[in-house]
Amino acid sequence: MEGTLLLVDDEENILRSLVRLLRGEGYRILTATGGAAALQMLAGNEVQVILSDQRMPGMSGSEMLSHVKELYPDTVRMVLSGYADLASVTDAINRGNIYKFLIKPWDDDLLRANIREAFDRYELGRKGAQFTKIYENTVEGILITDGDGRIQAVNPAFSAITGYDVAEALGKTPAMLRSGKHDAEFYRDLWRCLLEDGKWTGEIWNRRKDGAIYPEWLNITAIRDRHGHLQQYVGLFTDITEHKQAEEKLRYQAYHDPLTDLPNRLMYTEHLDMALPQAQRREEMCGIMMLDLDHFKYVNDTYGHEFGDKLLIHVAQRLRDCIRKEDTLARMGGDEFTFLLPLVADVKDVARVAEKILAAFARPVAIAGKELFVTPSIGISLFPGDGKDAETLLKNADAAMYRAKEGGRNAYQFYTADMNAQAQQRMSLENDLRRALERQELEMYYQPKVALKSGRIVAAEALIRWHHPTRGFVPPSEFIPLAEENGLILPIGEWLVNEVCRQIRRWRDDGLPTVPCIAVNLSGRQFQRQNLPDLLTQAIADAGIEPGDLELELTEGTIMSNAETNIEMLVMLKRMGMSLAIDDFGTGYSSLSYLKRFPIDVLKIDYSFVRDIAHDAASAELVRGVIGMAHGLKLEVVAEGVETPEQLAFLRQHDCDIIQGFLFSKAVPAAAFADLVRADKRL
């Protein structure tokens, strides 16, 4: 492209960068390092386009370009400067001294396109005053096609909006701009309007040359001659991206709390109105929780509203950490927050969230150098039992929240008495479990593992039992998940490891002829603790036993949750001398590629597969496959839950190494297990 371009900037390195970028575009390029030098350069050269920095010593870019407008009004004047300078040149833009403001740092392609557009603009100005006036004074893109839809002309705004220059657009069809967001029916309706009414107006999404999809408001008019024959189509369009963004911002503000950025009452109500019919169709529940902070007014009165606002922001973040992705947490106003838990299958799931929230506020909040404890009161209602509509459910949750306050605060309360009883029972069980360790209510039982070749006890699995003073025997299926949820599994797990090590030592001291290897189940939380090797080392040393006396059992899910990192921990434990086993194999999602890499010694087949091997072909085939695969990997196989002679016969036939189950013995206390070993009981 012929023409002269003047670049003005007081920084030589920027001028050099611009010259390098634009050298291949075919322009004659001049440079100046200030306003005075630029005016002097213009006096001796015919310059079509000038691109200037704003901040320059002596004379700013906008001041210099105002002189250029007076002296050389046809020269296209542009500013290339930082976004912060936009305010200082706004007046110059409004008065027409500056044609366009471009942002530093610049995008190479966009800058080149803007320069080309500026030269196009200069050329249009020379072709005719009226044509130039139309093109220069419209911010709308203009697109003219022939009757067949082939582009005949576009204006600079078209190029600025779409990224396509004139040469790239001529001869093409507007289909070059299609975004793919509209279906065929959309375009059929558009053309039907054009053919029937001669015009179409509406919002359409198109695609720029760089691939970006943007919204525009488009008016298309069919141009006909005096005989009614179609001659051209003229499209006028405006990029409404900023309008859309402003619209979206307004929508966001309408649905969100400005202080905490949480959804507000309006969004919460809409989500609740959508969740209730969905839960009804799927025959599930919805949990509605109301929460406010105990004595928040006292905090505001004591420390001021600014402190109170910071506290609410901190509280909002803690509450966010307590919910699932599908849940809705909203601030209703003041210190009142609401939760929506859609598609709840069990009341216990709602109670679990409430307990998680209470636990999150067990630690103090630090704000502005002050530490204080904040506690919530929570009220819960459930759809459909406590109400069929949003208003009733919210009212009942609010009533339950006030009952929680009346009951002593820092608690949650269900709306119905039955559910409260269940929740109280759960909380009571948790409190009792916290005391079970110190009251020595927990005891280790041992279930023998028997080698099929010899029929003798070769190992045992340590299983925890809880003898509650009033409840009696509490099944592990009730208290272990509870311990996992509230973190009690860590102190319980530590006690378990130490107790098993001490028991091995006691058996030795009592002269038990053979003390088998004892398997200890490690929970997922315990396994993820970095101090696990230290805990095991200390327990083994304190008891005076060998690492080989212990076998560590981990579920597939625990190992695979973060396989790469867990391999390192497994290798460390293996090097310490302990045997490693994958428990409940077949119920998780172990990858064979990882299975080869895990330094394990034993695979334990889950009892759910062993249970059905005598009468279910699929279970039998799976067990056969696991045994074959394990032996191929040089691993020992233990079958859990063996209860019948038919199961035993099958496992013997297919070379299973070890079995455990009621067929030989249930789990028994330490003394009873020692009696089995001394008696040399055999299968």
Residue of 200, 103, 207, 195 lying closest to 164 (CA atoms): 207
Same domain for 276 and 330: yes
Residue 390's region, left for phi above 0, alpha for psi from -120 to 50, else beta, is: alpha
| Residue 423: pLDDT over 70 | no
Model confidence pLDDT, tens digit, residues 399-411: 898 888 877 888 9
- What CATH number does residue 226 fall under? 3.30.450.20
In this predicted structure, what is the pLDDT of residue 403?
A: 83
CA distance 602 to 581: 4
CATH code (residue 594):
3.20.20.450
Q: Tell me: the pLDDT tens digits for 605-662?
A: 988 889 989 888 888 998 999 999 999 999 999 999 999 999 999 999 999 999 999 9
**Confidence at 683, pLDDT banded by 50, 70, 90:** confident
> Which of residues 245, 274, 291 is at a domain's end?
245
Based on the domain organization, do 215 and 268 belong to the same domain? no
The CATH number of the domain holding residue 381 is 3.30.70.270
- Average per-residue pLDDT for the chain: 88
Q: Which residue, of 434, 457, 476, is where some domain finishes? A: 434
- Measured between alpha carbons, how far is 614 from 86 in angstroms, rounded to an integer? 81
pLDDT band with cut points at 50, 70 and 90 for residue 485: confident
Task: Pick the closest to residue 287 from 378, 377, 380 (CA basis).
Answer: 380
Q: Clarify whether residues 482 and 427 are in a common domain.
A: no
Same domain (yes/no): 553, 445:
yes
Are residue 456 and residue 572 in the same domain, yes or no?
A: yes
The better pLDDT of the pair 283, 593 is held by 283
- Indicate whether 227 and 320 sit together in one domain: no
**In this structure, is residue 583 part of a structural domain?**
yes
**Following DSSP, what letter does each residue of 479-541 receive, concatenated?**
HHHHHHHHTTHHHHHHHHHHHHHHHHHHHHHTT-S---EEEEEPPHHHHH-TTHHHHHHHHHH
Query: What confidence score (pLDDT) does residue 33 get?
Result: 93
Which among 163, 153, 52, 34 is positioned nearest to 99, based on CA atoms? 52
Query: What single-letter DSSP state applies at residue 59?
Result: S
- Does 627 share its domain with 536? yes
CA atoms in the 13 A half-sphere facing the CB of 93: 13
Share of the chain above pLDDT 70, in %: 95
- Whether residue 470 lies inside any domain: the answer is yes
The pair of three-digit structure tokens given for residue 104, joined into one six-digit string: 């530093």
Distance set, CA 466 to CA 16, 499, 661, 667 (Å): 80, 14, 20, 13
Domain end marker among 383, 399, 434: 434
pLDDT value at 130 more than 70: no
pLDDT tens-place string over residues 14-34? 999 999 999 888 899 999 999
The b/e string for 6-22 (b: 16+ C-beta within 10 A; e otherwise) is bbbbbeeeebeebeeeb
Cα torsion 67, 72, 75, 81 to 10°: value is: -10
> How many structural domains does the chain have?
4
Residue 253 lies inside a defined structural domain of this protein: no
User: 560 and 594 in contact (C-beta within 8 Å)?
Assistant: yes
pTM comes to 0.48
- Which of 187-201, 334-348, 476-490 is predicted with the least confidence, judged by mean pLDDT? 476-490
Considering the domain architecture, whether residues 445 and 477 belong to the same structural domain is answered as: yes
Could you report the per-residue pLDDT of 284-316, keeping only the tens digit for each? 999 999 999 988 887 877 778 888 899 999 999
Are both 14 and 111 inside the same structural domain?
A: yes
Please check whether residue 604 lies inside any domain of the structure.
Answer: yes
Identify whether 481 is part of a domain.
Answer: yes
Same structural domain for residues 87 and 153? no
Confidence of residue 91 (pLDDT cuts 50, 70, 90): confident
Cβ-contact 28, 5 below 8 angstroms: yes
Output the pLDDT for position 587: 62
- Rounded CA-CA distance 338/341 in Å is 10
Domain containing residue 52: CATH number: 3.40.50.2300
| Tens digits of residue pLDDT in 315-372 | 999 999 988 888 999 999 899 999 999 988 888 889 989 999 998 988 888 888 888 8
In a domain? residue 524: yes
Whether 329 maps to a domain, the answer reads yes
Instruction: Check whether residue 491 and residue 551 sit in a common domain.
Output: yes
pLDDT at 329 (0 to 100): 94
d(CA 267, CA 253): 11
**Domain with 189 in it:** 138-245
Evaluate whether 382 touches 287 at the Cβ level (below 8 Å): yes
Specify whether 532 is located in the same domain as 408.
Answer: no
Pair 178, 207: CB distance under 8 Å: yes
The verdict on residue 252 lying in a domain is: no
